[in-house]
Structure 1
Amino acid sequence: MNESFEINLRGTKFLSTSPFVRDLMHALVKADQAATHPNGGFYVDRNPMIFHHILDYHSGGEFHLPKNICPLQARKEIEFWRIPSKGIHNCCYESLYNENEYQYTSIENLESDLKVQTNRSVSPMFGEKKVKNCLGRLRYKLLEAYLHPFTTWTGRVWLFISALVTITSVVVYLLNSDQHFRVSREGLPVLPYNLTYNMIVKNKKYLVFITTTREYVKSILEFFTNTFLLLELLVIFVITHQKRRFLLSLQNILNIATGLAVYVAWYIDVYSISTWENEHLDNFLIALGVFQSLRVIRFLRLVEFTPEMKILKLSLHESWREFVLLLMVLTAFSLIFGSIMFWVELDNPDTFPTVFISIWWAIITMTTVGYGDFYPKTVEGYCVAIVAAIFGLLLLAMPITILASNFNTFYNCYKYRKRHVLSK
């Protein structure tokens, strides 16, 4: 029997007679990862928690992961003690190489990003030069208030005013779009042959915008709130260090486009009634209205820098494969059920005039919306509708569950690391 030798891990001593373990220790000594004792033993500055299992493997056995140990910590020990992945037993491989590493790494990057933003916002240095002028100090003060609105009084006031103006802008937009909150337009052009706009304008929605206009107070209020929000974007652009990233941000691009669309819509509604009478500008007016509606995106500014919002973004990013899979499967089954419904309802001329209408019905049914504009009227059609509805429920349940699970995992990781950092 081989002579035993001692291995000391931070005061915890182990004895072994395995020649493979001795060769491993000599290799670690050559790599300056271990030290030798005069008595022939070895000292290694490593955690001794799982070293019994390390000895099991290097003594000719199998490596099993002990309970109540972090898989990431265990992986670091396995790499140090030079255990290949094929030497890990199947019962422990799944728990050791799970997907938690991505969650922890993402949370670490999130915290690192927040820390960098904090240091950058409160740092008295600009590049390599100290900021001494008033404009430089004002810039950093505003940047700190923008990035961390809840940590300073300036940030709280800024966020409160921005939220108030944003809410006012959205409310005024909604009121100006409803005929009950508009006033009759003065100076309407006289139509020939004693005709009225009610007689020549078939679309009642267009008729509202032709014969009425927004109230003066709400018009001025919308102009003021939109100007304030655009000026806020300009201030953020001036104080930010990442101007290229700011200009390429989809959210900022939409905010700028929305602000410009509000001015154009305000001018057309107040001063250019002829635009509503021009049939060739229908698509332009629709696009203009869509851009106006996007002003609700400004609400995201209120929660943009909170950790919960960042965790939601991480969860959506982690779940994109499932959503793509859902879209592909939903499209395939919509084509299948839509085509089947068209043929089983072929003898009924009052339902599903084209296969595209039946595919539309399948999408609406599988997403559990159910408008009721088209529906089957035969027994076969009822059966197809039942199967389509059941498949829709099953398909929608999976990605929603995955998204909720990812959010819960990220959030628990964030809370754990937050408690861990505070405990230090």
Structure 2
Amino acid sequence: MSGGCRYMPNPPEPYLIEKTKRESRRVTLNVGGERHEVMWKTLDRIPHSRLGQLRQSNTHEALLELCDDYSLLDQEFYFDRHPLSFSSILNFYRTGKLHLVKEVCVLAFSEDLEYWGIDSVFLENCCQHKFNQRQEQVFDEMRKEGEALNQLEEEDFGEGAMAKLQKFGWDIMEKPTSSFPARIVASISIFFIVLSTVSLTLNTMPSMQMYECVNETDTECGADLAAHPPGHREALDDHLQQIDNIYLAKIEEVCIAWFTLEYLLRLLFSPSKRKFLQGALNFIDLLAIMPYYLSYFLIESKKKIGEEDEYKTFRKVVQVFRLMRVLRVFKLGRHSRGLQSLGYTITNSYKELGLLVMFLAMGVLIFSSLEFFAEKEDNPAFESIPQTFWWAVITMTTVGYGDISPTTAIGQVIGSLCAICGVLVIALPIPIIGNNFAEFYKNQVQRELVLKRREEVERAKRESSIVQLGHATLDVMEGLVDPAGKFYHKKLNSSVKHVFTY
């Protein structure tokens, strides 16, 4: 550009700028290399905007505050901006209607509006809602990405060789997708979870159960035990007690040994022991192994004390602890994004679940009362309202076992209404709960992508190579400043230099 430029040794005088503007009715706006011709009077329609102030500025310094370069001779003003959204902005000066550009990122469009001095409230109704919705969505995604990165930054292992070893062990035990050894550890953990669950279920089969004499010194019981095969020991029930299958018990011990080792290693490598112990998944891991040790030590202590009658009662209490072993199936939640989403949904949908329970409770009470008074004289199954609760629950949930059913015409009508209302009541909060599940599942996927992208960026920075983010490829540029003040951009691994003077 000539005739008045940023780099001219003598900038034009204000009177010359004012005269040139007054003699020309049109002006050329060069936005990122794309030229637009417009009337000066068109820019006067929005005087407080950047282009409106451009008309009123008559000094070299004031013009350079509004544009990046200009030429008085050509009446051309250059703006170093991306030109994609400028057509919509210029059309706002011409027609007074501002529309959203579909191809432009909503944040980039918002920044362009701010740069040109135009408020987003001028967007037309057809675009206003879309703009706000997309903007809120982007802000929400950025917030979630920030939370994911903040969570990553909270893992402070310190410095030194032990810190590196701790981080390496933590990544292996806690991040299954971080490396090949981590995937192996995760696969082994899943194998033992499945094996332990299968062992627990097989141990309840009569053909797999084993027995021992209550009194170990009872030789007659021992002889009868050997003479009666499994499944034909009913006559010895007073002298026998059921025990776990010894082979399945060995499998259980191996699984518990792995779960214990895994928990201790995860605790050892964790960057914060307090946060580790407060974690929900870690608490589930602890519940998965504690019942085994509690039942084992308590049974052994009672065996030493004796007192057979008390020992029998105590074994029934221990069965409660053994029942808790089924909780180890929740350990799969550590390796399953779907189970984590389900747990989040249940935790964060307590209002909807509470509403569902309240609706069901009201329906059960109302229809139980109506059904009781309709059936009490002709149907002995409906003895009282509390007993009718069971019928109302299975009817409203559309289970319908059929163990209790109305026989009178009025009772059947009430039962039909109860079933219809049950379907409507259950269907009301289900979509909200489903949306919570889908939202958290999406957040989990996005969090993993954010962490993966950050790892790619950090690896690329270490290797000083090309950074690949999704479908975009960014050249890692190296900036050099020479003593004269010129700023150079040199592309790495290339013999071509691009020199720009600012």
Whether TM exceeds 0.5 here: the answer is yes
Give, in angstroms, the shift of residue 253 of structure 1: 1.5
Identify which of 243, 263, 268 aligns with 1:233: 263
Give, in angstroms, the shift of residue 315 of structure 1: 8.2
Counterpart-to-counterpart distance in 2, 1:97 and 1:43: 30
- Alpha-carbon spacing, 1:361–1:314, altered in 2? closer, same or farther (3 Å): closer
Counterpart-to-counterpart distance in 2, 1:13 and 1:244: 62
CA deviation profile, 1:282-308 (whole Å, cap 9, x unmatched): 7x557524532211112223336xxx7
Counterpart-to-counterpart distance in 1, 2:104 and 2:123: 16
Give, in angstroms, the shift of residue 252 of structure 1: 1.0
> Which residue number in structure 1 is paired with residue 412 of structure 2?
379
Residue 301 (structure 1) aligned with residue 334 (structure 2): yes
Counterpart-to-counterpart distance in 2, 1:415 and 1:138: 23
Counterpart-to-counterpart distance in 1, 2:383 and 2:117: 69
- Structure 1 or 2: larger helix share? 1
Identify which of 213, 216, 219 aligns with 2:243: 213
User: Is the CA contact (8 Å cut-off) linking 1:366 and 1:391 kept in structure 2?
Assistant: no
Counterpart-to-counterpart distance in 1, 2:127 and 2:448: 27
> Which residue number in structure 1 is paired with residue 50 of structure 2?
25
Stretches of structure 1 lacking an aligned partner (at least 5 in a row): 191-203
Q: Which has the larger radius of gyration?
A: 2
Give, in angstroms, the shift of residue 365 of structure 1: 3.7
User: Is the CA contact (8 Å cut-off) linking 1:12 and 1:48 kept in structure 2?
Assistant: yes
| Aligned AA (1:278) | T
Give, in angstroms, the shift of residue 327 of structure 1: 3.9
Residue 49 (structure 1) aligned with residue 79 (structure 2): no
User: Is the CA contact (8 Å cut-off) linking 1:365 and 1:392 kept in structure 2?
Assistant: no
CA deviation profile, 1:223-252 (whole Å, cap 9, x unmatched): 232132122111111112132221110221
User: Is the CA contact (8 Å cut-off) linking 2:352 and 2:429 kept in structure 1?
Assistant: no
Of the two structures, which has the highest relative contact order with CA contacts closer than 8 Å and spacing of 6 or more? 1
User: Is the CA contact (8 Å cut-off) linking 2:288 and 2:325 kept in structure 1?
Assistant: yes
Counterpart-to-counterpart distance in 1, 2:31 and 2:436: 43
Q: What is the percentage of aligned positions where both structures have the same residue?
A: 18
CA deviation profile, 1:13-54 (whole Å, cap 9, x unmatched): 333532254532177979967435243654433332222322
> Which residue number in structure 2 is paired with residue 165 of structure 1?
192
Counterpart-to-counterpart distance in 2, 1:30 and 1:233: 67
Mean alpha-carbon deviation: is it higher for 383-392 or for 251-260? Answer: 383-392
Q: State the number of aligned residues.
A: 391
- Alpha-carbon spacing, 1:140–1:56, altered in 2? closer, same or farther (3 Å): same
Counterpart-to-counterpart distance in 2, 1:220 and 1:348: 56
> Which residue number in structure 2 is paired with residue 77 of structure 1?
112
Query: Please, what is the CA RMSD of the aligned residues?
Result: 4.4
Identify which of 122, 137, 140 aligns with 1:100: 137
- Alpha-carbon spacing, 1:285–1:361, altered in 2? closer, same or farther (3 Å): farther
What SS does the aligned partner of 1:347 have? helix
| Aligned AA (1:140) | K
What SS does the aligned partner of 1:154 have? helix
User: Is the CA contact (8 Å cut-off) linking 1:9 and 1:48 kept in structure 2?
Assistant: yes
User: Is the CA contact (8 Å cut-off) linking 1:7 and 1:42 kept in structure 2?
Assistant: yes
Give, in angstroms, the shift of residue 84 of structure 1: 3.6
Give, in angstroms, the shift of residue 414 of structure 1: 8.2
User: Is the CA contact (8 Å cut-off) linking 1:261 and 1:288 kept in structure 2?
Assistant: yes
> Which residue number in structure 2 is paired with residue 198 of structure 1?
none
Runs of 4+ in structure 1 deviating by more than 6 angstroms, as ranges, are 26-31, 411-419
> Which residue number in structure 1 is paired with residue 273 of structure 2?
243
- Alpha-carbon spacing, 1:114–1:347, altered in 2? closer, same or farther (3 Å): closer
